[in-house]
Amino acid sequence: GFRTCILTNHWLDDTSGRSWTASLLEKLRSRFHLILESSRIGIAKPDPGIYSRALQELQAQPQEV
């Protein structure tokens, strides 16, 4: 009954290790309902907007989390 989310402060990786990072995120996607990456949505923690976005996408209220 719980919905889960990962919020990341992470940047677009153009290093030689990027395939490892991509592989890890792909594995995590199957285990969480939502993954919000700051580099993709343009909002980073601790900006309250990233938390509002997570609540909106999970269709949750602050008092429920």
Q: Is the pLDDT of residue 5 over 90?
A: yes
What range defines the domain where residue 28 resides? 5-58
Q: In this structure, which long-range contacts are made by residues 37-44, counting pairs with CB atoms below 8 Å and at least 24 apart in sequence?
A: 37/8, 37/10, 38/7, 38/8, 38/9, 38/10, 38/11, 39/10, 39/11, 39/12, 44/9
* Residue 39, token pair as written in the block: 């580099």
Residue 40 in domain: yes
Across the chain, mean pLDDT equals 89
pLDDT tens by residue, 24-52? 888 999 999 999 999 889 998 999 999 99
Nearest to 2, CA basis, from 63, 58, 51: 58
The total number of structural domains that make up the chain: 1
Residue 9 in domain: yes
- The CATH number of the domain holding residue 53 is 3.40.50.1000
Q: Is the pLDDT of residue 12 over 80?
A: no
Residue 65 in domain: no
pLDDT value at residue 4: 94
pLDDT value at residue 18: 79
CB-based contact 9:45 (threshold 8 Å): yes
